[in-house]
Structure 1
């Protein structure tokens, strides 16, 4: 009798009464991708693929005289170009002198349909530029508390130097703006990495304030409306709290990226932590040496791109692994890009 009544109820309600209630042992699905109305074609594209596809990416570290070196190496190994090209303003004299070569390659890659990502390993503004990597005076040097306060105080020598350094790189970014090139802009990366002069200061007056200052200067003073701001962290054990302590505020970034170097790989905990802090904004694998597998990207589908770190990728992944990943159905390489 109960079956007959259920059947009659189903007919009367258009079968809607026969569906399982939400949460009743149903398989949970990722929400459908959305394309918000942002001013950026690149950012809209990242939103549109989130949950379904992931862009392959490759960083090209020094020298700036050959700014597609590792992108070309990936093509020679896999037969496919990555969908994301990345360069760096860098800090040594020869690389500073060749910044225009790197920028011209960014334009070239954009015309090919690639996503453009640019970093800046900046010299310490309390010391000298050009500089080296790690000699106590370079990228991996320190600021005293007084120097840090001076950096964020208008009119001081260190503040003036930082603005002049931003002026330099802004000229190149304006060149790209004038050419219609959108840039995933990734300065002050790995903000929770205390070895960099800009990082490791979690207070309200710390690294996040420098990010806010830099953002406001380059956007409002320099007028760089072509920048998509990528807020980047490193996967330390303190990641969960770091994502809160170093967050400059959602109005100051467009994409949240995480660098994977701690040896534990692409854990679910890291993925979920990034989803929580992003609150619907795109997330990305900002840097890694060991690339994710296609299966890992299937299990963590919201990563909108991964970016391999130059020579380390070829040291940590076999040719077979690289080829399999770049041929995976959910991985987008340059030949699958829609064009700008």
Structure 2
């Protein structure tokens, strides 16, 4: 593992400093500043490069981001998941917030077959039934089978959940509180898990996963992140969403739905801890999207964060939308969508790793 670089020296995490829980911190007052982050979208074959983007931000802006985001991924990265967990533990021990995402193969594939999977594209030929890719479609009858106890597909998925749980158990044993963001962008139909509103849809899969980790594995030191994307208003409708046309006349295809009805994908206030919204639409950080998120977060009593973005929020956004606790740019493409001056302004004005308090694992008692 590489040694400290600019902004990567860690914090004074001595026991004399008061400790704070992760969820408590996210929900707290940050003095008008937003918490900085970066997603690591590179493979984990080389452990020495597991925080290369964080170190790049630090070298260019002088600020090492406060949150480190990792990903289970699928395909050729599967054999290196242990390296990813090692880096998450290292980041936590150096005083940072940590998150893991969940780009994984469809549920009909085994743990062994995940290594053969891939990301794919959202083109119809890639995303329609069956391929071992993140961009894939699960027919309606198979979806019902997935959520129903006792079916072959449900049993296979439970074995898959056990594989992820084994990695997460390492974090629990190490005293790490991780933000876990499974089945992100639930309202986007190109992922095999997405585009299914209602309690029997993606929200039901989210609840199943949480229940499995808690009841079967005793994992409670997890901050559960529910995620939605800022999709266009006609998304999920045949007459406005070009990509949705792939489901026209398709046996087992999903019916039309309102992707802008975020609450139809809500797993329930008892099932999630943080509301996050991904911003990729041309509308950007509009007041209506902010108010839409704020109403849900306030009603459910949750902090809210910008879960993913290419374009970092500027000073006007941060001034007029103060409820956002954190903003996470999406990996290497951040440099393609922001000028060096904009990146420097964001990171130098935000909460970096050196500004964080000492975190303590919360466990069931802290939740």
Question: TM-score under structure 2 normalisation?
Answer: 0.78
Cα shift at 1:242: 2.4
**Are the counterparts in 2 of residues 126 and 147 from structure 1 also a CA contact under 8 Å?**
no
Which structure is larger by alpha-carbon Rg, 1 or 2? 1
Gaps spanning 5+ residues in structure 1: where? Answer: 1-38
Aligned residues: 299
Q: Could you list the per-position Cα deviations for residues 295-339 of structure 1 after superposition, in whole angstroms to 9, with x for gaps in the alignment?
A: 3112111111000100111100111111111111xx101111122
Gaps spanning 5+ residues in structure 2: where? Answer: 1-18, 121-125, 234-257, 360-367
- Partner residue, 1:98: 80
The question of 1:133 aligning with 2:119 is answered yes
**Are the counterparts in 2 of residues 51 and 302 from structure 1 also a CA contact under 8 Å?**
no
Q: Give 1:76-225 correspondences, 5 Å limit.
A: 76-93=59-76, 95-127=77-109, 128-130=113-115, 131-134=117-120, 135=126, 136-225=131-220
- Any idea what SS the aligned residue of 1:124 has? coil
- Partner residue, 1:63: 43
- Partner residue, 1:339: 358
Which segment is superposed worse, 265-274 or 125-134? 125-134
Cα shift at 1:84: 0.5
Alpha-carbon RMSD: 1.7
The question of 1:314 aligning with 2:335 is answered yes
**Are the counterparts in 2 of residues 40 and 182 from structure 1 also a CA contact under 8 Å?**
no
The question of 1:270 aligning with 2:280 is answered no
Cα shift at 1:269: 0.7
Which segment is superposed worse, 84-93 or 283-292? 84-93
Distance of aligned partners of 1:153 and 1:145 in 2 relative to their CA distance in 1, 3 Å threshold: same
Q: Measure the CA separation in 2 of the matches of 1:82 and 1:164.
A: 35
The question of 1:301 aligning with 2:319 is answered no
**Are the counterparts in 2 of residues 254 and 281 from structure 1 also a CA contact under 8 Å?**
yes
Q: Which residue, 24, 49, 60 being the options, matches 2:29? A: 49
Distance of aligned partners of 1:51 and 1:282 in 2 relative to their CA distance in 1, 3 Å threshold: farther
Q: 1 or 2 for the larger relative contact order (CA 8 Å, sep ≥6)?
A: 2
The question of 1:248 aligning with 2:234 is answered no
Which segment is superposed worse, 278-287 or 47-56? 47-56
- Any idea what SS the aligned residue of 1:49 has? coil
Q: Measure the CA separation in 2 of the matches of 1:51 and 1:139.
A: 39
**Are the counterparts in 1 of residues 225 and 276 from structure 2 also a CA contact under 8 Å?**
yes
Question: TM-score under structure 1 normalisation?
Answer: 0.84
Q: Could you list the per-position Cα deviations for residues 101-138 of structure 1 after superposition, in whole angstroms to 9, with x for gaps in the alignment?
A: 11111111111111101101010012442201114331
**Are the counterparts in 2 of residues 52 and 302 from structure 1 also a CA contact under 8 Å?**
no
The question of 1:234 aligning with 2:217 is answered no
